[in-house]
Amino acid sequence: ESVQGRQAAVVAFEEQALPRLIRSPTNVPMQGTATIEVASGRVLRTSLTFKLASPYGSTTAAIDVVYAVEPRSQLLLPSRMDERYTAIQNGLSSVILSGRARYSRFRQFAVDVTQTAGEVAPPAK
């Protein structure tokens, strides 16, 4: 597909290894897609879904992240994240919670560390 004028491939995946990235009592695997720019291999968009079921109902989480080039650093960074949580009880949608985060004004921090040789103090008693 084409994303922001770039040729992209969509790769679907399902988590296989244990422990899971998101742990649950039944070790449910996470599923999702990654939209990857063909020319560079950069990830442009990710979509994750996770469904936790119990005898009383289920909860589904969907997390979508869009990445964009940050103008000052020229790094590909998250620009938007949408989260949606749906709880189902007795076959009816009982709770829907959604949110959107927008990311901007990225800053780069640096730490300068120097080390000097010296005597090591004995441990305190």
For the segment 56-83, what is each residue's pLDDT rounded down to a tens digit? 788 899 999 999 989 888 899 999 999 9
With a cut of 70, list the residues of the chain below it in pLDDT: 93
Contact indicator for 83, 96 with CB cutoff of 8 Å: no
pLDDT at position 116, please? 80
pLDDT at position 101, please? 97
pLDDT at position 29, please? 93
Q: How many other C-beta atoms can be found within 10 angstroms of the C-beta atom of residue 48?
A: 19
pLDDT at position 72, please? 87
pLDDT at position 90, please? 79
Tell me the pTM. Answer: 0.77
Q: What angle (nearest 5°) sits at the alpha carbon of residue 21, between those of residues 52 and 88?
A: 15
Beta strands across the sheet bearing 43-54: 2-3, 6-14, 31-37, 43-54, 57-69, 76-89, 92-102
